[in-house]
Amino acid sequence: MKTIRQSSLNAFELCMFKGYNEYGDIGQTGKADEEELTNKYARVGIVFHEVMEYWGINKMEGKSVNLNSLHELLDTKLDNEDKSLFDDEIEIEKYRTSLHEQLDWTYEKCLCETVSPLGVEVTFALDDLLPDFLTVTGTIDRIDGNMDSKEVRLGDYKTGKVYTKKELSSNIQATLYSLAFYKMFGFLPKAFDFYFTKHKKVKTIQITPEFLKNGTERILSIWYKIKQGEFKPTCENKYFCKNFCNSYSECPKFKKIKTNSSWDKIK
């Protein structure tokens, strides 16, 4: 079964070549899935998410987990990561310090104030979320509120950069996850909270008809381009490409060779 998710749409939107090179034929296991196991940034983020999941599961079961226990769990999980992914022990400790600081902030600002999470790490795979679209997959980090009164908000932990106001106005993840929640439970969440733990900020999107319209149009625009099968490099910032794109070394734009003539279009 072919599937699509928020991260692949973001990659294709940034650069069609990057998207194709990392995700291949949409729905197949591509380089991005394989590199998640060997990418230190991804691994550090996963460690943090696993600690949050542990807290949430215990909260749902009516168990209290103190901050010290979460710090100990974080250390254990980080110690179990492949040390060869990091430059040296100094870099590992740098990440450790940052994660502990993020945990302190999250516990104080986002965990203790939460009355009762309804779901933690809720994974979905849904058909017909959008017209002429593939099955959408994703994982909702947290669902807070009251199902009976339909006062519910979704949340996602982000260990990277803070989104701009423009990005939040049509955010792909908040759109897909809100529509997925609607399909699963029959009503829309009131809001979507992004917890930018490294920067100690919370950014909230109100889930309104206007927001969903903007987000849906953005997603379908990307999908239309993908279906055209023209996977040329589209990123104009060479500094970004060289330093932050996993596809840079193979990019035809910087190798000065022609592209896309032999690639099959996505069906």
How far, rounded to the nearest angstrom, does the alpha carbon of residue 108 sit from its chain's CA centroid? 23
Question: Residues 182, 154, 95, CA angle at the centre, nearest 5°?
Answer: 140
pLDDT for residue 119: 65
Mean pLDDT value of segment 241-247: 74
The pLDDT of residue 32 = 56
pLDDT of 30? 55
Model confidence pLDDT, tens digit, residues 47-90:
999 999 998 888 878 888 899 999 999 999 999 999 999 999 99
Please give the distance of CA 229 from its chain centroid, rounded to a whole number.
Answer: 25
Q: What is the pLDDT of residue 116?
A: 55
pLDDT for residue 232? 85
How high is the pLDDT of residue 259? 43
Q: Which of 177, 252, 247, 169 is nearest to 213 (CA)?
A: 169
- Read off the pLDDT of residues 81-121 as tens digits, 9 standing for 90 and up: 999 999 999 999 999 999 999 999 999 887 766 555 666 77
Q: How far apart are CA 238 and CA 250, in angstroms?
A: 13
Handedness of CA 30, 34, 40, 41 (dihedral sign): positive
User: Do 29 and 115 meet the contact criterion of CB atoms below 8 Å apart?
Assistant: no
Burial degree of 190 (CB within 10 A; 0-12, 13-18, 19+): middle
Cβ 116 vs Cβ 151: under 8 Å: no
CB 4 within 8 A of CB 133: yes
For 26-54, write each residue's pLDDT tens digit.
Answer: 655 555 555 555 688 889 999 999 999 99
Give me the pLDDT at residue 257, please: 43
Residue 164 has a CB neighbour count (10 Å cut-off) of 9
| pLDDT value for 23 | 83
- Of 72, 85, 146, 70, nearest to 115 by C-alpha is 146
What distance in Å separates the CA atoms of residue 178 and residue 180, rounded to the nearest whole number?
5
- 125-159 tens-digit pLDDT: 999 899 889 899 999 998 988 888 999 999 999 99
